[in-house]
Amino acid sequence: MSGETREDLVTTDTARDDLVAGDTTGTGAVAAAAVGLAAILFALGLAALFEVVSLTAPLAGVSTVVLLGGLLILLGGAVTTFGLGSRLGYVETEPRASAGLVVGVVFGGLWFAAAGLFTSQTLGFDTVAWAASATVVGAAALLASTLTREDVGSTVPVGLLTVVTGAVFAFGVIEPGWTWDLGFPSSYTAIFVAEFVVPVVTLLCALLCGWASAKAYAGFGARGRHTGAYTLVYLNAVSIVLVLFVLVGFTVLQGFTPMMDGFRVGLGVGPATTVGLFGVELFTVVWPVDWPFVMNGVGLTNDFNGVLPAIVGTVWLVVGSVLFAVPLGIGAAVFLTEYAERGRFTQVVEVATNGLWSTPSIVFGLFGAAFLVPRFGNTKSLLAGMLTLAFMLLPLVVITSREAMLAVPDEYRDASAALGVSKWQTVRSVVLPAALPGVVTGIILGVGRIAGETAPILLTMTSAPFLGAQQRADVIGGFELSWGPPFVANEALLQATSALPYQLYGLITAGVGRSSGLEDIETFRWATALVLLVVVLSFYAVGIGARYYFRSKLRHD
């Protein structure tokens, strides 16, 4: 026994038992802290990726890259230590015999990539040598993950990889000015820079270590796998929300100031608007708000240029498309769901609608230019743009409406039929009200797509990108009565106009605008983008409000 007495062994076993018995607070707190540290690193990686945090500026008095490296070393060490502690019995867990083949393949692939980069870029190995070395390392990581117990296979490979990555950052192997030229032919340029590599690698290590820490916190086994999966889902969900906030926040930051130039509030300070119908002026409104960017067009004599014609064009595009597509889509869904026999015909229609929804928008634009424009005076017009976008929206309305109606329980239909209610009355009073929240959801998704489309309206509707305020599409005031067919005419619907996506496209790609009186095109771009975002979000808000209204009415009924 190498000099150890029975009393020494009993004392050692007792100490280990005491440590294991008391692990629920200490080791659980360590694992929870590792999960929290992984979340912090994940957030820092996202912030660095979107340049909210600069790699060149110090963070908390330390270089950002060095700080990320130190935190990665700490996180990887904690994960590795926890896995080894579980294997040696110092932490009470219930691991399975293996972490699984999927985990092994992922970790093996990551180690293969890391070893390949190190041997080829740092050691200068040729292709055969670095490929062989990387294969050996990747295979060792795969075997270490699959042939060992779950507590070791899930933690040690990713923990060590995170430690190595942290050391690369902390000791200046990759620093803010680092670049890697992939060495493509001279006609191509492919360079990785630290501003991209450091955040992405940090995100990957934080995600994997967060998963491993969550498994360790739950004691591995079935519960650990579930906790690890939840952690991955939560981190990805948080990243999606953060990306959304960064996108919106950056657009607001860049576009808010130019959008608010000249903004005033007061009685009689705004422009006068005359409302008319069928050629008759009804009344005139003097707005108590003067918001030049929203209420003006573009002109050489304007003190402040704006996007009013583009806003009006975008709103009428969406409204007209919805008015055309929604009744037709819901009617088709009612027929397919409630009246048509479920067979080959309905299957063909389902495949066709799914295919139409997946069709690129430029194809719809070409269809509108070839089929609709020649039938409306052979000129681009607001009506042609409306119908083109309506054809784009129609498949989604059919798909979502049909799915919403199929989700209505058959018991509702049977109960209505038992009361002697006709088929159409059942559909109108029972099925449609129950399906309306789902239908509105589909319309919201479709509106979000068509409101930002550029290609279809570029080919069917648009004229000059920049118009004066008086050149906006006056659809309501443009209606005129006549004694002959079609009895009602509207010149505004048959004229080309502008829209926010097309105007933004012109500002970005063609650089147009300076000849129209725009001095600072860059700020005008961001202000236009912000207005487009507000318009789209406003449509979303209206749709979401309608959905909640129908849901609450359904619960009340």
Q: For residue range 252-282, what is the model confidence (pLDDT) as tens digits?
A: 988 898 888 888 887 777 777 776 666 666 6
pLDDT at 164: 93
User: The pTM is what?
Assistant: 0.76
The two structure tokens encoding residue 325: 């597509």
Asked if pLDDT for residue 433 goes beyond 90, the answer is: no
pLDDT at 274: 72
| pLDDT confidence tier of residue 227, bands split at 50, 70 and 90 | confident
CA dihedral 163, 169, 172, 176 (to 10 degrees): 170
Per DSSP, what are the bridge partners of residue 490?
479
Asked if pLDDT for residue 483 goes beyond 80, the answer is: no
- Rounded distance, CA 151 to CA 228, Å? 13
| pLDDT confidence tier of residue 20, bands split at 50, 70 and 90 | very low
> What are the tens digits of pLDDT across the range 369-389?
999 999 888 888 889 999 999
pLDDT at 75: 93
Give me the sign of the Cα torsion angle 286, 289, 290, 293. negative
The mean per-residue pLDDT over the stretch 544-552 comes to 82
pLDDT at 279: 61
> What are the tens digits of pLDDT across the range 133-166?
999 999 999 999 999 998 889 999 999 999 999 9
Angle made by CA atoms 156, 161, 163, in degrees to the nearest 5: 95
Asked if 342 contacts 355 with a C-beta cutoff of 8 angstroms, the reply is no
pLDDT at 23: 45
Of 493, 54, 123, 104, nearest to 312 by C-alpha is 493
Least confident of 14-23, 161-170, 322-331: 14-23
pLDDT at 143: 92
Who has greater pLDDT, 409 or 1?
409
| pLDDT confidence tier of residue 124, bands split at 50, 70 and 90 | confident
The two structure tokens encoding residue 367: 């269809």
Asked if pLDDT for residue 394 goes beyond 80, the answer is: yes
The mean per-residue pLDDT over the stretch 70-84 comes to 91
Asked if pLDDT for residue 427 goes beyond 80, the answer is: yes
> What are the tens digits of pLDDT across the range 2-12?
444 544 444 44
Of 82, 80, 73, nearest to 164 by C-alpha is 73
- Rounded distance, CA 373 to CA 369, Å? 5
pLDDT at 24: 46
- Rounded distance, CA 479 to CA 83, Å? 75
